[in-house]
Structure 1
Amino acid sequence: MAFYATANLQDQYKRDYITMASPIDLIIMLYEGCIKQLKLAKIHKENNELDKVSECFQKAEDIILELVGSLNLSISISENLLELYQFMLDEIVQANITKDMERVDPVIEMMTLLYEAWNEIKVKAESDIYTQNEE
């Protein structure tokens, strides 16, 4: 009984965290989730758990599609991100079909670079807010 109560509290905490997260935090969480799913896919492939590999790839694809949906195409960099996301989706689909995990490494690398860039944006934004509040 205590296990279920703890699990429910953890689920509620996650829901609350996501609900209250800033747009930047949500983007960062999406990148984290995609990276996690791609790394899990590689682990499952090593363990010959092909159904779990496909499941992880599907989750990664869903995350990238969520990132695509968040793009504001009136901003010029969004077009570049859209092309990058399309490349990533294509690589994940091909990796899922062929189980060629080497195709996943560049996607993880690109996702990691984007994750780091958004973290820098967050730090800068928080620093700017802190500086404004001191004035």
Structure 2
Amino acid sequence: MAAQTNAFNAYKQNSVTTASPGELTLMLYNGCLKFLNKAKQAINEKNIERKNQYIQRSQAIIGELMSTLNMDFEISKQMLPLYEYMNHRLTEANLKNDLAIIDEVEGLVIEFRDTWKEVLKITRQQQFGSTQQV
């Protein structure tokens, strides 16, 4: 069992270290969604400590997404206030144990994630489309 766990952890580490920046962003969105779901579960179980932990992890991911924005692009200037809003709402959700606020933030993260997946898909199609024509 320990060997399997070590192999899985090595695989996860390798997938992160070999991922493109675009894939890393997608991993961040998915990680944020995972922690938001765990926070909601903790609220339902009335486990305040775990709820706090998972909301803070979600906020750390949003902070990472904010820090990686390239402010030379207009879209980044538009996304920054949305990330700040999400972070603020998660603080409120943490204080109030409010599932509806977490659902709201989760909806925004899903939209961002799905849009990002589409961008990656289009980018791959353009890259492979242009190499196949050579």
What TM-score do you get using the length of structure 1 for normalisation? 0.96
Structure 2 gap segments, 5+ residues each: none
Measured in 1, the distance between the counterparts of 2:8 and 2:85 equals 35
**Count of aligned residue pairs for this structure pair:** 133
Which ranges in structure 1 are unaligned for 5 or more consecutive residues?
none
> Cα distance, 1:97 vs. partner?
1.0
CA offsets, 1:57-80, max 9 Å, x none? Answer: 010010000001110011111111
RMSD, aligned α-carbons: 0.7
Q: Which residue of 1 aligns with 2:64?
A: 66
Aligned to 1:5: 3
Equivalence for 2:112: 114
Higher mean alpha-carbon deviation, 112-121 vs 3-12, is at 3-12
Quote the residue 2:12 is aligned against.
Answer: 14
TM-score computed with the length of structure 2 as normaliser: 0.96
Aligned positions of 1:47-66 closer than 5 A: 47-66=45-64
User: What is the CA–CA distance in structure 2 between the aligned matches of 1:86 and 1:134, rounded to whole Å?
Assistant: 42
- 4+ residue runs over 6 A deviation: none
- Measure how far apart 1:49 and its partner are: 1.2
Deviation at 1:106, TM superposition (A): 1.2
